[in-house]
Amino acid sequence: MANYWVVQHPAGGWDVKREGAQRASSHHLTQREAIAAAHPLIVNSGGGELVVQDRHGQIRQKDTIGRPDPYPPAG
């Protein structure tokens, strides 16, 4: 499980950062694009939490994303 943060980059745009990492996993022009890019990273790491900051560094939203069901029902 890994937590990812969407934070504003000082030079403009938005970064997706894994919690505790120095470097960004990806960089995007809009916050919406960064949020969309973070979801598959969290799912592929087995689930976790997405934390989105606003322009002032305040937490705007948190989403818990679960691990995908390895045995989905048939049909």
Q: What is the DSSP letter of 33?
A: H
Q: In whole angstroms, give the CA distance from residue 41 to residue 47.
A: 9
Please state the domain count of the chain.
1
For residue 13, is it within any domain?
yes
Mean pLDDT of the chain: 93
Residue range of the domain that includes 31: 4-65
Calpha distance 13→29 (Å, rounded): 4
Q: Cβ contacts of residue 31 below 8 Å, gap of 6+?
A: 6, 8, 14, 52
pLDDT above 90 (res 34): yes
49 SS3 class: strand
- The answer as to whether 72 is a domain residue is no
39-71 pLDDT tens trace: 999 999 999 999 999 999 999 999 999 877 778
Residue 70 lies in a domain: no
Structure tokens at 73: 């029902």
20 in any annotated domain: yes
CA 40 to CA 59: how far, in whole Å? Answer: 21
